[in-house]
Structure 1
Amino acid sequence: MRNAFRVTLAGLPLTLSSCASMYFPPAPNAPLLTQKGEASGAAQVNFQGNFTAQGAYAATNHLGIIGTASFLHTDKKKKALDHDFGELGVGYFTRLKDKRVIEAYAGYGFGTSHRTERTREGLVTDRRDARLEKYFVQVNYSSKDSKTVHLLQRDWPISYGTALRVSYMNMYDFRLNNQPGPNETNILLEPITWTRVGLFGPVQFQFISGSNFGLRHRKYMKAANSVFNFGLIFSVGGQQGRR
């Protein structure tokens, strides 16, 4: 719990700071599937207003399919953002002897991003438009640590986990102030940790913290936005244990 809190504090400056990146990453999809027929879903948001919906399904006892859709639409006085992005992946999952889960996925993502900067008087000073595509691999792992907290006259089960996503990002059809701009690519490393608290039945509260790091120096396609989300996750048809 303490480690997750420290990671969150480290990521907050990136989340709250202004940046020119055209990419706002959704959190990695980490359903932690356990058996054929299991289904998982999640709805999450961060402080920037980036809403993420996720789903997963176990097609066999070891083959999982994941999907993610994220939307960020804000129109403030000095800045407007419109970012729509979707991902689809397929991969392998297995249950360990101590009932933990490990998953590995590969997938593809695509979307559009628009950014407008204005003066206080409403005059547009900078307009950026781009299409995005992404190829990614990721590994999800549920931690051995777990605990139960007694609060409000009931027990709250708490579990932890980690994920690492490596993404190749391609920004194309980029237009800067309605003129052709430089298309850019980058490789992003996105490590995250999550904490899940059982609420009732299959529903859990999920808190994700982390960041991302760009392996290439870029002006517009860079790792400038941290991964920080909170929301609800549920799974049905799966085995019991640490997830």
Structure 2
Amino acid sequence: MKSVLLSLIFIIITFSACQPTHYIPNMSNVPILQEKGEASVSVGISTAGRDSASQYSLQTAYLLTNHFALQTNSVIYRFNEDFTRNRTRNSGQIHEFGLGYITNFEDKRFNLAIWGIIGGGNMNTILLRQNERLSTDLRLYGIDPTISIVTEYHSLSFSMKSFLLEYSNIRGNLDYNSVNEVEYLRNNDTAFIIEPTLTEKIGFKRFKFILQTTYSGNLMFRYRDNSILDKGHDRQVNILVSFGLSYNFYTRKKKTPVEF
């Protein structure tokens, strides 16, 4: 009985690993900026469930005024060596730029932010067993509201990144379950993604460790061609776990109060 159960688990893992992936969520940039001239730099690595790709992220943010800020977020997907020829390999990159409005409350213990995000990149999938592949360019436009509880050595943030994802320049020869994936993606080249994310930072005043968990889901379940598939878009990774390091610093000297 135990061996049967292990076999079923192996079959499920192998089957899900073979499934093509057209989108993988990336590590969210959740800076906590409190004073004009404050900047943040973060690096991170992420792992995504059934997908064989690891992610490497570089994030920056800068508070231009007491409320307006800029951020960048770049991620590179690099496939790992697979232990079985039944798995897929994914590679690619996404680069994002954001403009945000930030407010701090209660002696800087609560931080609210809303970001407008635009970005672009590409995703490449290779199905090793059939030696087939698919490549596509990506564009995204959306918002990312964030609420954070902040202390000097710890912060806990919840964000809800929501964006329109568009695929273009779709090419390749990949088939999956008798479905032509190029045609599939061309007929379903738009998705609306929500990504609730919980981010915890702990460490020192300026230097902190990051633990982040993201759920990614597509709300756009309609199909333009019902003859292709009769269910919603399932070619994406849903769970992402990220680890990283962040460093906050000031680019301008703080004003010292004048004593009389």
TM-score by length of 1: 0.77
2:158 alignment partner in structure 1: 162
Q: 2:246 aligns to what?
A: 233
Residue in 2 that maps onto 1:133: 139
Query: Once the 2 structures are TM-superposed, how far is the Cα of residue 158 of structure 1 from its aligned partner?
Result: 3.2
Question: Does residue 203 of structure 1 match 2:211?
Answer: no
- Equivalent in 91, 95, 100 of residue 82 of structure 1: 91
- CA drift at 1:220: 6.4
Partner of 1:51: 56
CA distance in 2, matches of 1:204, 1:216: 37
Match of 1:224 in 2: 237
Q: Look up the match of 2:5.
A: none
How has the CA–CA distance of structure 1 residues 221 and 236 changed in structure 2, closer, same or farther, with 3 Å as cutoff?
A: farther
Matches within 5 A, 1:72-111: 72-77=77-82, 78=85, 79-99=88-108, 100-111=110-121
Task: Pick 1 or 2: higher relative contact order, CA cutoff 8 A, min separation 6.
Answer: 1
Q: Report the CA distance shift for 1:61/1:143 in structure 2 as closer, same or farther (over 3 A).
A: same
Secondary structure class of the residue paired with 2:37: coil
Relative distance call for 1:190 and 1:105 in structure 2 (3 A) is: same
Return the match for 1:186 from 163, 172, 191. 191
Asked if 1:69 corresponds to 2:82, the answer is no
The correspondence of residues 167-178 of structure 1 with structure 2, limited to 5 A, is: 167-177=163-173
* Residue 152 of structure 1: aligned partner: none
The alignment status of 1:41 with 2:50, answered yes or no, reads: no
Asked if structure 2 preserves the Cα contact closer than 8 Å seen for 1:188 and 1:223, the reply is no
Whether contact under 8 Å (1:204, 1:232) holds in the other structure is yes
Letter in 2 for 1:76: E
Distance 2:20 2:124 in 1: 11
Contact 1:138 1:165 in 2 (8 A): yes
Shift of 1:160: 1.2
TM-score by length of 2: 0.73
Tell me the secondary structure at the aligned position of residue 25 of structure 1. coil
Deviation at residue 39 of structure 1 after TM alignment = 0.5
Question: 2: distance between equivalents of 1:202 and 1:190?
Answer: 27
Asked whether the equivalents of residues 140 and 163 of structure 1 are also in contact (C-alpha less than 8 Å), the reply is yes
Percent identity of the aligned residues?
21
Separation in structure 1 between the aligned mates of residue 97 and residue 140 of structure 2, nearest angstrom: 10
| Structure 1 unaligned blocks of 5 or more | 1-13, 149-156
Please name the residue that 1:7 is paired with: none
Deviations for 1:13-62, whole angstroms, at most 9, x for unmatched residues?
x9xx5342311221221112112111101101113411111000111111
Q: How many angstroms does 1:81 deviate by? A: 1.7
| 2:50 paired residue number | none
Give the superposition deviation at 1:143.
2.5
Amino acid in the other structure paired with 1:196: K
Q: Tell whether the 8 Å contact from 2:59 to 2:71 is kept in structure 1 after alignment.
A: yes
Cα distance between partner residues in 2 of 1:41 and 1:163: 19
Deviation of 1:223 after TM superposition, in Å, equals 4.4
More strand by share: 1
Q: How much is the aligned-residue C-alpha RMSD, in angstroms?
A: 2.7
**How far apart are residue 224 of structure 1 and its match?**
2.6
Distance 2:193 2:61 in 1: 23
Per-residue Cα deviation, 1:214-241 (whole angstroms, up to 9, x for no partner): 10237767543323201101111299xx
